[in-house]
Amino acid sequence: MIKWKKAWFLESERMIDPSLRFELQHIRTRSVDAEQASIPVIVQLKEETDEQFVHELYELCAERSCNAVDGYLSLLSGFYGRIHPETIRSLSEYDQVAHIFYDRKVQLFLDVAKKTTGSLDVQLQKGLTGKGVTIVIIDTGIHPHKDLIEPKNRIIGFHDLIHGKKAPYDDQGHGTHCAGSAAGNGRLSQGLYMGAAPEANLVGIKALDAEGGGSLSNVIRGIEWCVKKRDEYGIRIISLSLGSPATMPYRQDPLAQAAEKAWHHGIVVVAAAGNEGPYAGTISTPGNDPVIITVGAADDKNTKSHQDDEIAPFSSRGPTPDGLVKPDIYAPGADICSLNVRGSILDQQLPENKVNDDYIRLSGTSMATPFLAGVIAQLLEANSQLSPNDIKCILTNTSKEIKGDQAGFIDVKKAVKLAKQYVKFQKNFTHP
């Protein structure tokens, strides 16, 4: 009987991720030239790998003209670029190479909202507006909307991974809408469309293009930048209203790994659950990571009462590929009014959603995530010594029951009260 030999990438299943195996199989069945055959990948090395060996791998990749190593990813101890299948095969034979991932695409996934969550009450009664806390929005960019720059410019940083521009901009509009949900001050709406933390500082990282797409490596680079610049900008929160299908265990997933490492550097990472509901098992990465806070979207029915709130039908459900319960918490994500960028892709594509030239209504876990980021800024203003783990524990344990899930709906007033109670236990402890 003839025994068929497996393709090399099928024999290296533990090292080659499923998406990359699919691409390699696809190329194998077609006749393409070398340039077209090169594949965008992320190569993760074992942590003990020395710099000399990294240089040797760079040299190996440089031997083929169709290879292009674009840069190093310190959080993953690896690099990324477009690599020919034969070079990928050579890399897979090195003991120091831990994983090789397909650098797959990442996609995008407030008026009443503040009232149902208690965020507005906390603003008015406790004076908690996120002042002194910096939120990073990794998305399509950030537009200098008047709600963000007047009377004081709160966009204190901008990093463009798409076009390398220095001044803040947003050609798609999604990132600016998210920034407004987190920290818009409602200047052009007399305070009606105000975010959860209207005095928080913002940093915009453009990792997605005008079509709302990008690569895993770009988002990882954005997270890496936040870790490096944490102290310089006072970064406490990263908001990720984006994701990619979770195709592997979280311990191997490169985006989940990067998000978790930022968390362990003292930055609270909040990520959208995804918009593939109501089907089970649809949580995207990095929301599949058990450490970070994964946010689902609730529909508050445009009423102040919590009694009619329910999980939005589009909000992704767990379990994750590892069998873990997600999301961790729900926040308003249906019909959220926030900032519009005139002339942007969203502005042109969704004219029926516009309230006026300055505001637009959108729905998705993308909207729930930055709103929660703004709430976290309120908690950190109330108690700056809270760690990411403290924040997650407080939010989940003070949340209100919501029908259909064991995760609850945020209750900002209870969360702030508990955050302040932590102070008496923190006198002998400090957080970075």
Q: Which two tokens stand for residue 401?
A: 């029951």
Active site residue: 119, 174, 300, 411, which one?
174
**Is 139 a residue of the active site?**
yes
Active site residue: 99, 366, 405, 411, which one?
366
76 burial level (CB within 10 Å; 0-12, 13-18, 19+): buried
Active site residue: 17, 139, 171, 309, which one?
139
Q: Write the CB contacts of 428 (distance below 8 Å, at least 6 apart in sequence).
A: none
Residue 249 and residue 13 in contact, taking contact as beta carbons nearer than 8 Å:
no
**Is 305 a residue of the active site?**
no
**Is 90 a residue of the active site?**
no
Alpha-carbon distance of 254 to 99, in angstroms, equals: 9
Report, as residue numbers or ranges, the catalytic residues: 139, 174, 366
